[in-house]
Structure 1
Amino acid sequence: MQPEPSALLEPVKQIAREAGLAILDIYDSGNFELQQKDDESPVTSADYAANDILVAGLKALTPKIPIISEETTAVNLTQRQAWKRYWLLDPMDGTQEFVSRSGDFAVNIALVENGWPVMGVIYWPTKNTFYYAIEGQGAFKQKSAEPVPISVRNIDQDERNIKLAVSRVQKKDTVTRYLMDGYDYEMVPLGSASLKSCFIAEGKADCYLRIGPTGEWDTGASHCIIEEAGGRILDSEFNGLSYNKRDTFANPDFMVLGNQDIAWHDVIKPHKTTRKLTD
């Protein structure tokens, strides 16, 4: 019998911390190798060090649960579709932030059951901070001994000020062209995509539009956290994201939406993802 997510939470957090500390050691030393993957995204020796720790730790903890990670060889869809449960990992979300030394990078671990993330653990090494959630049990932030429940910002649906989480390096018009007139948009700059979602989950921002390539590992952990905090992650046409249903792990453009009292269709213009996804 497979263990319940609640029984796995604390050991998974410990594994995430160990991976995060390994990243931090390399980050503080300033001595790392930087390479380009086939998709031209950056990868460092810190990504691989974190991946090794996560994979070894999770295999020891749950030897019967398979693992998908951004930094390991992909498993074909036919084999994956037989999995009712698997770990979905991004060993270091925010590699470019690691390279640019902003500190905004995080370890992401999701447990996916029947195509849905039922547990998400995100560890922010430079802040020694966890964000985590289990389906049906709420979302939490933990910086010290005691975790604190978190939720999306409590705003009235008629409020015209929207706090928009944005990348420090992306051109602002990449996302602002999809915003409707009639609102005041306050920009909240941050690095890693998953940390932007966590900011929305804890009420520091209201919305994040991700325009550009990502994989399912970029959203798995934060998806559970934001949903448990009262928000949603949807694709750019306001449809739900899916997991383990395509040949590739590519996500469409997506948006992380906070308080669901906001009429988000009046705030954001839907659009089709320009790159091709394989169904």
Structure 2
Amino acid sequence: MDKNILYTAIQAALTAGAEIMSVYTDPNADFEIERKADNSPLTIADRKSHAVIAKALASTPYPLLSEEGAKIAPEERQQWKELWIVDPLDGTKEFIKRNGEFTVNIAYVKDGRPEAGVIYIPVKQELYFADTTLGAYKIDHITETGEYTSLDALIAHAHRLPYANRINQSFIIVASRSHLTPETEAYIHEMQQKHAQVETISKGSSLKLCLIAEGNADVYPRFAPTMEWDTAAGHAIIRAAGKEVYQAGKTEPLQYNKTDLLNPWFIAE
């Protein structure tokens, strides 16, 4: 995609992260927890983040599909060949627990495939960004674009993914901190039969996909419900790092802007 547009998405993610942190660090904030239609929690931080991102991306040519946005009829969405898929605060449960494992997710999707993505971890001040033609990158200790006045400047100061230089020979499986299912446990057991050493890491939100993109984990099996906005940005980053997110038991990758926004079970590797 156009470098200036990806740069705009990065700026949006960083600004949204600042809005989230203003709530997260407020000792008087009760997070105004509500319940969404699927009974998952919604906080004031979700809404603040959404407002910032929606305003920033309104300057781009593409429509926005966001978890916190208006419910758009599938018939209308199906006309969109290019769009943004956004989760303003992925890992609301982790946010409420105050464990820091939540992210801002912004993905650019074309013809059902995630072509560019941005994931920002506000507490750690870590930024992942990717484009399938430019590659995948990570920058540490960033809260604003500041002296990075262009996408090229960001790339010049970033680590190219995957960059992990792992010493231990364990086969590393990354699993959800909040959604470990019997099917996932069975998959882990199956891998233990195939590999001499198997290690399991638990993480919240899209951090699991980031670990795969980095090369710090080998596989992320997800045998529990997720929505398109949970995975689109991480999927774009994984693709740009030379990896893939497959539908479980199939050779086809996850698809986006479907009639039903619920993802099938998947394996990222």
> Please, what is the CA RMSD of the aligned residues?
2.0
**Matches of 2:163 and 2:187, distance apart in 1:** 22
**Matches of 1:78 and 1:188, distance apart in 2:** 40
> What are the ranges of 5 or more consecutive residues in structure 1 without an aligned counterpart?
258-279
Contact 1:152-1:231 within 8 A present in 2 as well: no
**Aligned counterpart, 1:209:** 221
One-letter amino acid of the counterpart of residue 162, structure 1 = F
Residue-pair matches, total: 247
One-letter amino acid of the counterpart of residue 256, structure 2 = Y
**Matches of 2:38 and 2:249, distance apart in 1:** 25
**Matches of 1:77 and 1:152, distance apart in 2:** 39
Paired residue for 1:244, among 257, 262, 265?
257
Query: Is the counterpart of residue 36 in structure 1 residue 45 in structure 2?
Result: no
Contact 2:181-2:223 within 8 A present in 1 as well: no
Paired residue for 1:78, among 63, 75, 83?
75
Once the two structures are TM-superposed, the CA of residue 58 in structure 1 deviates from its matched residue by 0.8
**Aligned counterpart, 1:149:** 160
TM-score normalised by structure 1 residue count: 0.83
TM-score normalised by structure 2 residue count: 0.86
Going from structure 1 to structure 2, the CA distance change for 1:244 and 1:167 (only over 3 Å counts) comes to closer
Once the two structures are TM-superposed, the CA of residue 182 in structure 1 deviates from its matched residue by 2.7
**Matches of 1:240 and 1:153, distance apart in 2:** 24
**Aligned counterpart, 2:176:** 167
Contact 1:50-1:91 within 8 A present in 2 as well: yes
Once the two structures are TM-superposed, the CA of residue 153 in structure 1 deviates from its matched residue by 5.5
> What percentage of residue pairs aligned between the two structures are identical?
38
Q: Choose 201-210 or 85-94, whichever is displaced more.
A: 201-210
> What are the ranges of 5 or more consecutive residues in structure 2 without an aligned counterpart?
142-153
One-letter amino acid of the counterpart of residue 203, structure 1 = G
**Aligned counterpart, 1:66:** 63
Contact 1:140-1:148 within 8 A present in 2 as well: yes
Once the two structures are TM-superposed, the CA of residue 170 in structure 1 deviates from its matched residue by 3.7
One-letter amino acid of the counterpart of residue 68, structure 2 = E
Query: Is the counterpart of residue 255 in structure 1 residue 267 in structure 2?
Result: yes
Once the two structures are TM-superposed, the CA of residue 171 in structure 1 deviates from its matched residue by 4.0
Once the two structures are TM-superposed, the CA of residue 168 in structure 1 deviates from its matched residue by 2.8
Name the SS of the counterpart of 1:206 in structure 2: coil
Q: Choose 90-99 or 4-13, whichever is displaced more.
A: 4-13
**Matches of 1:76 and 1:168, distance apart in 2:** 32
**Matches of 1:96 and 1:125, distance apart in 2:** 15
Once the two structures are TM-superposed, the CA of residue 71 in structure 1 deviates from its matched residue by 0.8
